Amino acid sequence: MRERDKYLKLVEWSEEDQSYIGSIPGWIDECCHGEDEEKVYKELCQILDEWIGIYQQDNRQLPKPTNKNYSGKFVLRTGSDLHKALAVRAISEGDSLNKYVVKKLKNIIKSE
């Protein structure tokens, strides 16, 4: 596996800029753009390779990899009041707390 394969590479369309924009979440912010999605992706990979080379040349530790398998589980600490409010809403909609929260999170992601 190449070092760059350990990192998520994100290419998204920007309505504001009317172009594709590439970034490496958690490490390199928006760093390249263009009208061709594939060209932006290739440029993003080149930029990532350059940054990896700089870090290695300077004997700096690379950021933690972000392109990994996710289990689908995480612990969320909300505080007792919010926990109760969410549980009540879940019950009122006939959902389990988990199903209710997943549904709400999906709605948030869709609307972004």
Q: Is the pTM for the entire model greater than 0.75?
A: no
The confidence score (pLDDT) of residue 52 equals: 97
CA distance 98 to 41: 36
In tens, the pLDDT along 42-61 reads 999 999 999 999 999 999 99
Distance, CA of 107 to chain centre: 16
CA distance 4 to 64: 12
* Number of Cα atoms under 13 Å in the Cβ half of residue 101: 16
- The one-letter code for the residue type at 39 is K
pLDDT at 30 over 90: yes
pLDDT at 70 over 90: no
CA dihedral 27, 47, 110, 83 (to 10 degrees): -10
